[in-house]
Amino acid sequence: MTAQLSKKSEAWSARFSEPVSDLVKRYTASVFFDKRLAEFDIQGSLAHADMLAEQNIISRQDLQDIQRGMAQIQSEIAAGQFEWLLDLEDVHLNIEKRLTELVGDAGKRLHTGRSRNDQVATDIRLYLRHAIDDISGLLRELRLALTDLAEQHADTILPGFTHMQVAQPVTFGHHMLAYVEMFGRDAERMADCRKRVNRLPLGAAALAGTTFPIDRERVAATLGFDDVCRNSLDAVSDRDFAIEFCAAAALVMTHVSRMSEELVIWMSPRVGFIDIADRFCTGSSIMPQKKNPDVPELARGKTGRVNGHLIALLTLMKGQPLAYNKDNQEDKEPLFDTVDTVTDTLRIFADMARGITVRPDAMRAAAFQGYATATDLADYLVKKGLPFRDAHEAVAHAVRACVDRGCDLADLSLEDLRQFSSLVADDVFQVLTLEGSVAARDHVGGTAPNQVRAAIARVRAELG
């Protein structure tokens, strides 16, 4: 077996009477995308070797040789000098072959008590745990950037919309805090997902465990896992954690896409609520006046990409019997691309949020266009004793009159307003101002400026 392994560079070559065809090699190889797992493969191998030595399965000298060889491999990879070979199929066999070249038999003993099945499952979990930690940090940065923007505009009036129609006045700060809440839930989901990622499969071997006296808890502690996977069959075949991450990532991108849609609309000259810094925009090859919000547009598009990866992984797993199947090689590219897409998007959005210029005058003018204080007038009448449905009807008539006259509710005289209800008095005009409207929503979760500032304080306390 040793001679065959050296000659054909395949871990199973003695079993076969003919070599794998070049077409099959290219079709089944994963090394050119799973090599990004190299750092985590080495981490797992070093922890495994440490345990093997502690359990007297390999010698202390073997452990030292493995550690020395792995250090050399890490240096070669970091320097771009490591030779990745298609014939060796994946990251694991490439590293194992190079280790054996460097340290001889100690490298061949490293795989004792494990399989590539539990090895790759461990590598992916280590990789994904690291990615989740990065994404969680980026979500924090984005929330802080949006919180800063909210604080600057806690008093800035913005028309709130339902059905894309002017509904009631809110503040721009309150609007930004809605996204802070969304991305906060995303951070919670990532943290919860991390708990299930952070379980060690190593020790399950191919599917049934191993006959060697291994110490899985030691390996888990060395690698910072919270627990070990409790069933060897499940340990090597489970990809729930990757699917769960992609689902959480799809929600992150959904929130990014919703925000992107608003930024694109708000930046349109016909709306003009905001401007986005030039470094996040591009021009046109033919129209010299154009300034296109390419970043939010592209983020909106990339959301479909991440959603597609989630469906791909769900489809990948739905028909697999226990335990490991070659299908699972297809889990990596969707997962890697999801991590890359979410990471890049969050990083650029946190920066872009600090490059948003708000145009309060345009927002205020828009708030006057849709009778945004109509509900305030209805509430005013209710407080005077009129049943809400009657108040609703009275204000609807008032709005109809304003539409006919081409004016706002605040433009009507006291005499005009009393035509719709005799309960109207001089104090009515206090509730018809935009400032009065937002200030009246003075409760937790409301748009009153002092509530916006209280919410900002809570976010800052949470984020530290």
Give the residue numbers marked as catalytic.
Answer: 163, 284
Residues 6+ apart with CB under 8 A from 156: 171, 172, 173, 358, 360, 363
Cβ(239)–Cβ(316) below 8 Å = yes
Residue type, 155: D
Kind and range of the H or E element at 199?
Answer: strand 199-200
**In 3D, which of 267, 294, 270 has the Cα closest to residue 281?**
294
Kind and range of the H or E element at 440?
Answer: helix 434-440
Look-up of token digits 């209710």: 382
Question: What is the DSSP code (8-state) at residue 285?
Answer: S
Q: Which two tokens stand for residue 298?
A: 């592209």
> How long is the chain?
464
Q: How far apart are alpha carbons 48 and 95 in whole angstroms?
A: 15
**In 3D, which of 306, 347, 351 has the Cα closest to residue 134?**
347
Q: How far apart are alpha carbons 241 and 132 in whole angstroms?
A: 12
Question: Measured between alpha carbons, how far is residue 190 from residues 15, 96, 247, 259 in Å?
Answer: 44, 33, 10, 20
**In 3D, which of 62, 49, 35, 63 has the Cα closest to residue 222?**
49
**In 3D, which of 157, 175, 176, 159 has the Cα closest to residue 167?**
159
